[in-house]
């Protein structure tokens, strides 16, 4: 449960414009979709995917680091890491198991399959969309455990797009159609309060000193 008194206390340090901005952004946030990135070697691509999640309103991104350790490229992410939830996994099995336990269907994005075309994808189903490495695509484990497959229609000679480009196209399309649907896609009241608290803490300078003052009262 969120400490509402603590939230109120922290929000006293925010301007009215900042609080209003938080509320407006949160009305467009969703956990109906989540994104998973598997072993992407070039970490600037992971950061770019994270930026697309933030821009188009997907609250959570899941990063699997089974083969390549990586850090967020802050210049590429452009601060997105402050506003989205980042879940890190050491292996793909744990990631898939966790997402399925949350009620997500596993969707593998791949051009090498009889995949569902993007415009035909059913946005009403709670889905975790997986994106793979630049050269190899998704692992066999993801492909074998996927509940469905998704691809972007392409009419040129080139077989695939860069992962960050693919993710941006797909995320923009499915979130736009989701908001036009009758699905109850927005964050719950508890989730909204959690984000308000986290975002306030991420915004306030010297938050540790302010927290100490609050709890000492």
pLDDT in tens, 175-216: 999 999 999 999 999 999 999 999 999 999 999 999 999 888
The pLDDT value recorded for residue 43 is: 64
- What is the β-pairing status of strands 116-117 and 127-131? unpaired
The predicted pLDDT at position 76 comes to 35
pLDDT of residue 41: 56
Q: Delineate the domains of the chain, giving CATH numbers in brackets.
A: 32-202 (3.40.1280.10)
Which residues line the annotated binding site?
109, 152, 161
What is the spatial distance between Cα 126 and Cα 106, in angstroms, rounded to a whole number? 9
Annotated binding site for S-adenosyl-L-methionine: 109, 152, 161
Instruction: For residue 74, give the 3-state DSSP assignment.
Output: helix
State the residue for tokens 């993007």: 118
The secondary element (H helix, E strand) that includes residue 33 is strand 33-38
**Parts of the chain with a pLDDT under 70:** 40-43, 66-79, 134-135
């Amino acid at each position: 449960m969120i400490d509402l008194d603590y939230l109120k206390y922290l929000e006293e340090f925010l301007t009215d414009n900042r609080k209003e901005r938080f509320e407006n952004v949160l009305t467009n946030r969703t956990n109906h979709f989540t994104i998973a990135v598997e072993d992407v070697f070039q970490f600037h691509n992971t950061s770019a995917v994270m930026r697309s999640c933030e821009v188009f309103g997907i609250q959570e991104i899941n990063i699997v680091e089974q083969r390549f350790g990586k850090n967020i490229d802050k210049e590429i992410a452009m601060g997105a890491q402050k506003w989205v939830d980042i879940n890190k996994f050491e292996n793909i099995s744990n990631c898939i198991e966790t997402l399925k336990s949350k009620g997500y269907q596993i969707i593998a994005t791949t051009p090498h399959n009889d995949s569902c075309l993007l415009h035909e994808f059913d946005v009403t189903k709670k889905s975790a969309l997986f994106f793979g490495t630049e050269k190899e695509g998704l692992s066999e484990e993801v492909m074998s455990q996927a509940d469905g497959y998704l691809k972007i229609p392409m009419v040129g000679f080139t077989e695939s797009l860069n992962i960050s480009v693919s993710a941006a196209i797909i995320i923009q399309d499915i979130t736009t159609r989701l908001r036009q649907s009758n699905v109850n896609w927005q964050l719950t009241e508890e989730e909204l309060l959690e984000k308000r608290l986290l975002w306030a803490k991420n915004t306030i300078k010297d938050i540790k000193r302010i927290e100490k003052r609050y709890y000492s009262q």
